[in-house]
Amino acid sequence: MKRLAGLFFVFMVGVNLYGQSDSAFIYTYGGIQNEVCNQIKPTYDKGYIMIGTTNSFGCGNTGMYAIKIDSSGNHKWSESYGGSGNQEGFSVAPTFDHGYAFVGLTDSYGYGGYDVFLVKTDSIGKVLWQKTYGGPDWDFGYSIQQLPDSGFIICGQTYSYGAGNGDVYIVRTNKHGDTLWTKAIGGTGYDGGNSICVENDSLYAIVGNTTSFGKGDTDVYFIMIDDKGRIKKDTTYGSTYNDVGNSIRKTLDHGYIIFGSTDSISHHIPNEMLIKTDSIGHLKWMHIFASTDSLPGIGHDAIQDTDGSYLAVSTSSAYGNGACAMRVWQFNSAGFPLSGPSYGGAGYQVGNSVAIGRNGNIVFAGATNSPGYTVGLFDAYMVRLKKDSVFNFANYYIFPYHQYKDTAFCTLGIVSQAAIIPEVKIFPNPVVSSATLLVQGEVGVHYFFSLQNVLGQFVIRATPLQSISHGKFVGHIEKGNLVAGVYIYNIIDSIGVSIATGKIIVE
């Protein structure tokens, strides 16, 4: 394991002003409860396909939610996939037969608590087949690509296999979804793969995060593997505290652009982080974008345009009109910001994915719960900019928006509980020196951790958990001055509701 050191630049980004523009429009899609888009991709017919999660439609608590739209954002069809439990959709690959492959997680089918869930459909979203992958514990699929042989490569995270408390999980299949091989990569700590891209027919690049290797508490984890799952390169990027890589894409010079977040500049306050590497992962530059208000921003996705500039999307509390805004970025070829307007209303906006359409238009997608924008609680949220649109750094634009009230099928009544019923892992437990606490939660919610002794006295009170993408939140427990014995943990959501309790044993 090697770790690359390099220079990085920190940009202090100013507050945006309000403005008007007719260069874009906003669409929302959803039912009466919660919908989110986790990824958007261009399609062969010059439209777009969106994949995410819903609990307005489907047969279970949540469903994998796919939305097909045309080049202007008009709804063409939508479907929910899954069984009686929880499903989430994280990534989509438009396939050579003009259908789609969606990947995510399910606890309705498969072998373990959660399994990787792969759904293959035709061009109008009808299921051709579906598969699960994983073992007796939690296994997640976060990113998928189709390969020249029409098979698929999936990356994610596994707790069923590997050396530690969560490992990078890679599944290689044929065109029917049958497993050709699987691979778990990582050390004794917490490791996960968030995004995968195809370098060539037999080489793949993965980015995620690791606590097993690197310099900081959590580092960006870069891996290159061949088509047999053999590691050809692995390295980390980061500094003292927590650094996470959420997306990786190829660049015009055959290198990679990575977008994520770091709190190594402002401890406990994440900032967007953009990383450029060469073709084998050597660091070329790293830029961090810190707001002047010391408020968090999390980078989710970036892509290079044909002119060499980079387009990116993040979730930022420092800009916009609400608690969080979708922030879109344009960087020059050296990674210096050219513009960064934000979009959204008075509530929460989440920016998860960016894509360039076949007509050159740019789309950004995520979720919003702002009043007036949605037909339910959270809706899937899409912003489209025209090809010739000019990003203006000094303006917070307000655009016309359109709502689509979906009526997919099996609409449920509004319920009081969260869309995703959060689940908690603590490892190791008993705690000898330190432990990691992991919450699998939902979009738009922040979680806090408290610890009490058997007398009911707080030893840790309302400590925020760190978001590490895909609805996961993590915290660390150090034994420190804790005396040996039994403690009670409590996970609290952002409105003060206790969503999970349990025991931790300290030896």
CATH number at residue 444: 2.60.40.10
pLDDT value of residue 139: 96
Q: Which of 405, 434, 453 is the last residue of a domain?
A: 405
pLDDT over 50 (residue 7)? no
Residue 413 falls inside a structural domain: no
The letter for the amino acid at 51 is: I
pLDDT value of residue 444: 63
Residue 353 falls inside a structural domain: yes
pLDDT digits (tens, 9 = 90+) for 469-493: 777 888 878 888 889 999 999 998 8
Residues 271 and 345 in one domain: yes
Percent of the chain with pLDDT strictly greater than 70 = 90
pLDDT over 70 (residue 187)? yes
Identify which of 294, 282, 289 has the alpha carbon closest to the alpha carbon of residue 313. 289
pLDDT value of residue 178: 97
pLDDT digits (tens, 9 = 90+) for 108-159: 999 878 999 999 999 999 999 999 999 999 999 999 999 999 999 999 999 9
pLDDT value of residue 4: 40
pLDDT over 90 (residue 6)? no
Mean predicted confidence (pLDDT) in 341-357: 92
Predicted TM-score (pTM) of the model is: 0.88
Distances (CA, A) of 264 to 28, 210, 244, 267, 373: 35, 15, 11, 6, 35
Residues paired with 284 in a beta bridge? none
pLDDT value of residue 421: 64
Q: Which of 371, 405, 439 is the last residue of a domain?
A: 405
- The helix/strand/coil state of 346 is coil
CATH number of 8's domain:
2.120.10.30
Q: Which of 372, 405, 438 is the last residue of a domain?
A: 405
pLDDT value of residue 393: 39
Show Cβ contacts of residue 373 under 8 Å, excluding neighbours closer than 6 positions.
Answer: 26, 28, 344, 345, 347, 379, 381, 401, 403
Residues 393 and 438 in one domain: no
Q: How would residue 301 be classed by pLDDT, with cut points 50, 70 and 90?
A: very high
Residue 89 falls inside a structural domain: yes
Q: How would residue 395 be classed by pLDDT, with cut points 50, 70 and 90?
A: very low
Residue 368 falls inside a structural domain: yes
Residues 6 and 103 in one domain: yes
Residues 330 and 477 in one domain: no
Here the contacts of 275-282 (C-beta below 8 Å, separation 24 or greater) are 275/220, 275/237, 275/245, 276/251, 276/335, 277/222, 278/253, 278/254, 279/199, 279/253, 279/254, 279/255, 280/224, 280/233, 281/4, 281/205, 281/222, 281/224, 281/233, 281/235, 281/256, 282/4
Residue 7: is it exposed, middle or buried by C-beta count within 10 angstroms (0-12/13-18/19+)? exposed
pLDDT over 70 (residue 183)? yes
Residue 416 falls inside a structural domain: no
pLDDT value of residue 396: 46
Identify which of 397, 404, 360, 358 has the alpha carbon closest to the alpha carbon of residue 381. 404
Query: What does the block give as tokens for 110?
Result: 């498969």
Cβ(28)–Cβ(373) under 8 Å?
A: yes
The total number of residues written for the chain in this structure: 507
Residue 366 falls inside a structural domain: yes
pLDDT over 90 (residue 106)? yes
Residues 54 and 167 in one domain: yes
Q: What is the 3-state secondary structure (H, E, C) of 70-104?
A: CCCCCEEEEEEECCCCCEEEEEEEECCCCCEEEEE
Residues 365 and 231 in one domain: yes
Residues 187 and 284 in one domain: yes
Distance CA 378, CA 444 (A): 8
Distance CA 329, CA 331 (A): 6
Residues 479 and 369 in one domain: no
Residues paired with 86 in a beta bridge? none
Q: Could you tell me the residue range of the domain that residue 460 belongs to?
A: 423-506
Who wins on pLDDT, 144 or 293? 144
Compute the mean pLDDT over every residue in the chain, rounded to the nearest whole number. 87
Domains in the chain: how many in total? 2
Distance CA 264, CA 275 (A): 15
pLDDT over 60 (residue 221)? yes
pLDDT value of residue 406: 85
Residues 137 and 167 in one domain: yes
- The helix/strand/coil state of 337 is strand
pLDDT over 70 (residue 173)? yes
pLDDT value of residue 390: 52
Phi, psi torsion values for 327, nearest 5 degrees: -105, 130
Cβ(146)–Cβ(193) under 8 Å?
A: no
Identify which of 335, 273, 282, 279 has the alpha carbon closest to the alpha carbon of residue 304. 335
Phi, psi torsion values for 109, nearest 5 degrees: -130, 175
Residues 388 and 450 in one domain: no
pLDDT over 60 (residue 16)? no
Mean predicted confidence (pLDDT) in 366-382: 92
